Amino acid sequence: MVEVLEPKKNETVLDPACGTAGFLISAFKHIMSNNKLTPDEKKSLMQNFTGYDISPDMVRLSLVNMYLHSFPTPKIYEYDTLTSEERWNDSFDVILANPPFMTPKGGIRPHSRFSVSANRSEVLFVDYIAEHLNLNGRAAIIVPEGIIFQSANAYKALRKMLIENNFLWAVVSLPAGVFQPYSGVKTSVLLLDRSISKHKEDILFIKISNDGFELGAQRRESAKNDLPEALELLKNYRLGEVVEHAIAQSVLKTKIAESGDYNLTGDRYKENTRVAQTVYPIVKLGDVCEFIRGITFSAKDHADENYILVATTKASQANGLRIEDLVKVRDDIIKNEKTYLKNGDLLISVANSSNLLGRKTFVKNIENRKMSFGAFMGCLRPNNELILSEFLNPFLESENYKEFCLSRANTTTNISNLNWGDLSQFEIPLPPIEIQNEIVAQIEEWQKIIDGAKQVINIYRPTITIDSEWEIVKLGEVCEINPKKSEIKDLSPETMVSFAPMDCLNSHELSFLPKENRQLGEIYNGYTYFKNGDILIAKVTPCFENGKSGLAENLTSGIGFGSSEFMVLRVNATLNERFLYFVLDNPKFIELGKEQMSGTGGLRRLTRHFIENYEIPLPSLETQTKIVEQIEKEREAVESCKILVEIFETKIKAKIDEVWGNI
């Protein structure tokens, strides 16, 4: 964001929700690296950066950060950007922000000087930033997806203002997961600059799929990174070049304004080039499927009758309907026999959070049960003379379909809605029935392999057959529980060590990857200490019940620190640490631990007393080693199953892409 805006040495920079002042420091470093400044110029430059935050703690952190970067008198203020008018008349050349997305219960009550009437924090922050740019000022703002497409009046008014008043020139869509492990929320970056926008008839949309890191909680480094390319595209567009690229498209402002909602979802305006290249005729869902609306019911309609079942939104996306997730209701609320489900129907979530909107459930194996479905879902019933349900099914798992649903979402609150009028317009290629049969047969063969491999993955747990002659000991007799960190007190505070918060641990997986390296002095107090060979167990609910645990290996300097909710076990010379991990990774340990957890509600924790007195078998070290070797072979086979799943899921995707035109 800083590189796109390119702040200059004589420009003022603001972050109106500065947190720890990361944007301000990044802008300062950018200017320093692109200019040779005299001491006086550097001193003058440091007066150009301003930060506001409503939190006194964040203000203190920002001040410390600025002091550490040699700012003698940082301009960081405790200030309520959205309700105070004290600094309303200040304006800036560059504004960078990642404002808070959370709105307090009851909304915010801003003063009357905002141009958009709203009580949502994300709307007000964007409005504030636009209002406080100098005439040729520019801004980059991280916003939640609601800003992009929600249809409430305030959101539409904001988008209209940004476009009609020539503020907005580009929208960069980021993938969900870039803010993991703190949040999985889907976001975009709005780029504002009147000097660019007033000369453009269109707006540039860029879609980032990869940012150099995996998008799960671990955020491991990845070779895939669209950001450098996106930066180049933005710079070229700003200079007046026509941008044509797989991750970018420009859309006329008049086209965005056509519907009146000024939707800023780039995919909404994308020409469907995929289907244009297929050799098969293109049809819309509405041409080959009947759409049946779900029934409305409430708790008073529940009954003990066994022959009417209404599917809930908990229906499994991949494996059909789960009976345990269905609701029994009275038969007299079913007014239309069409709402009884048939094998081959496709249930679609039409009212859900935006990331689950359009979620599909393939109906199969319902036997002779009379099942209907609720109003939050709709049913696609394919015309099997034209299209096979099994052929349509994988198309409704494609990224193309998911993007289509997101682009057509109608969101007024926290719930997004998908109308049949929009869904019916989704286009797919339609081969002849005989070719559909061939494609379905191939996919079903591959799916059998996937299902079998997943069954192995899901049910496998290491099993140790206990010999009655083995000694039984308590954990406290063979393990040190929570070793004291004082054993490393003489190490330099600057020693780099591994840092692993709770989300680094996986469920029922021995290995884990620490999130980062930190200096020992930064984390010595307040975090749990461990070293290579120690076993970590999450002691707090629900992490313990979910089997979160792991074996510390390959730590920086052989040392790690992590969550205070870890319990650490360090084995003595009679015990193999891998053997102990496999002994503890079993349902019995978890069930007994749950029974003896202390505390109430969501803060129940495993007790030290339980760990110390939990009994385990203790064969000879030689026997332990042989058991570990056998389990490791089994685990290798399970990993091979995971690879099989990836291979054959890729094959299915490639087959669908082939039908869609080999791209």
pLDDT digits (tens, 9 = 90+) for 614-635: 999 999 999 999 999 999 999 8
Alpha-carbon distances of 33 from 26, 36, 549, 582, rounded to whole Å: 11, 8, 44, 52
Beta bridge partners, 51, equal 15, 76
**Claim to verify: residue 345 and residue 415 sit in the same structural domain:** yes
Q: Taking all residues of the chain, what is their mean pLDDT, rounded to a whole number?
A: 88
**Claim to verify: residue 386 and residue 501 sit in the same structural domain:** no
Q: Give residue 5's identity as a one-letter amino acid code.
A: L
Residue 216 lies in a domain: no
Alpha-carbon distances of 91 from 30, 95, 137, 359, 410, rounded to whole Å: 21, 9, 9, 45, 35
pLDDT in tens, 76-133: 999 999 989 999 999 999 999 999 877 666 667 888 889 898 888 889 999 999 999 9
**pLDDT computed for residue 112 by the predictor:** 84
| Whole-structure pTM value | 0.57
**pLDDT computed for residue 376 by the predictor:** 84
pLDDT exceeding 70 applies to what percent of the chain? 92
pLDDT in tens, 513-534: 887 899 999 899 989 999 999 9
**pLDDT computed for residue 312 by the predictor:** 54
Min mean pLDDT across 444-453, 489-498, 616-625, 652-661 is at 652-661
Alpha-carbon distances of 144 from 101, 118, 187, rounded to whole Å: 7, 16, 4
Alpha-carbon distances of 456 from 446, 461, 583, 647, rounded to whole Å: 16, 10, 20, 16
Distance CA 373, CA 5 (A): 50
Residue 589 lies in a domain: yes
DSSP annotation of 583 = H
CA-based torsion, 165, 171, 176, 179: positive or negative: negative
DSSP annotation of 558 = G
**Claim to verify: residue 426 and residue 479 sit in the same structural domain:** no
Residue 250 lies in a domain: no
Which carries the bigger pLDDT value, residue 143 or residue 145?
143
Residue 652 lies in a domain: no
Distance CA 110, CA 82 (A): 6
Q: Compute the average pLDDT of residues 193-209.
A: 94
Q: How confident is the model at residue 332 (pLDDT cuts 50, 70, 90)?
A: confident
Whether pLDDT at 203 is above 70: yes
Min mean pLDDT across 297-301, 313-317, 551-555, 571-575 is at 313-317
**Claim to verify: residue 408 and residue 484 sit in the same structural domain:** no
**pLDDT computed for residue 320 by the predictor:** 61
**Claim to verify: residue 417 and residue 525 sit in the same structural domain:** no
**Claim to verify: residue 475 and residue 424 sit in the same structural domain:** no
Q: Which of 497, 500, 476 is nearest to 488 (CA)?
A: 497
Whether pLDDT at 406 is above 90: no
**Claim to verify: residue 508 and residue 424 sit in the same structural domain:** no
Which carries the bigger pLDDT value, residue 184 or residue 9?
9
CB 101 within 8 A of CB 144: yes
Residue 368 lies in a domain: yes
Whether pLDDT at 413 is above 60: no
**pLDDT computed for residue 491 by the predictor:** 94
Overall size of the chain counted in residues: 663
Residue 425 lies in a domain: yes
pLDDT in tens, 5-63: 999 999 999 999 999 999 999 999 999 999 999 999 999 999 999 999 999 999 999 99
Distance CA 53, CA 26 (A): 18
pLDDT exceeding 90 applies to what percent of the chain? 57
Residue 276 lies in a domain: no
Domain boundary among 377, 411, 430: 430
**pLDDT computed for residue 322 by the predictor:** 61
Whether pLDDT at 235 is above 70: yes
Give every strand in the sheet of 548-551, ordered side by side. 479-481, 566-571, 535-538, 548-551, 506-507
Whether pLDDT at 663 is above 50: no
Distance CA 591, CA 534 (A): 23
Q: Which residue has the tokens 């600057």?
A: 494
CATH, residue 493: 3.90.220.20
Q: Compute the average pLDDT of residues 240-264.
A: 89
Domain boundary among 374, 407, 430: 430
**Claim to verify: residue 419 and residue 503 sit in the same structural domain:** no
Domain that holds residue 477: 471-618
**Claim to verify: residue 368 and residue 295 sit in the same structural domain:** yes
CB 192 within 8 A of CB 139: yes
**Claim to verify: residue 410 and residue 479 sit in the same structural domain:** no
Residue spans of alpha helices (H) in 165-296: 194-197, 227-238, 253-257, 273-276, 285-288
Q: Report helix, strand or coil for 147.
A: helix
**Claim to verify: residue 303 and residue 378 sit in the same structural domain:** yes
Q: How confident is the model at residue 273 (pLDDT cuts 50, 70, 90)?
A: very low
Residue 32 lies in a domain: no
Q: How confident is the model at residue 460 (pLDDT cuts 50, 70, 90)?
A: confident
pLDDT in tens, 243-252: 878 899 999 9
pLDDT in tens, 565-594: 999 999 999 999 999 999 999 889 999 999
Q: How confident is the model at residue 197 (pLDDT cuts 50, 70, 90)?
A: very high
Domain boundary among 397, 430, 463: 430
Q: Compute the average pLDDT of residues 426-446.
A: 92
Q: Which range, 148-157, 374-383, 555-564, has the best average confidence (pLDDT)?
A: 555-564
**pLDDT computed for residue 76 by the predictor:** 96
Min mean pLDDT across 33-37, 360-364, 480-484, 618-622 is at 360-364
pLDDT in tens, 416-431: 788 888 899 999 999 9
**Claim to verify: residue 569 and residue 519 sit in the same structural domain:** yes
Whether pLDDT at 218 is above 80: no
Q: Largest alpha-carbon pair distance within the chain? A: 85
Please state the domain count of the chain.
2
Q: Report helix, strand or coil for 308.
A: strand
Pairing type for strands 360-362 and 282-284 reads unpaired
* Tokens encoding 110: 């801003």
Phi-psi region of 601 (alpha: psi -120 to 50; beta: other; left: phi over 0): left
Q: Which of 127, 141, 19 is nearest to 76 (CA)?
A: 19
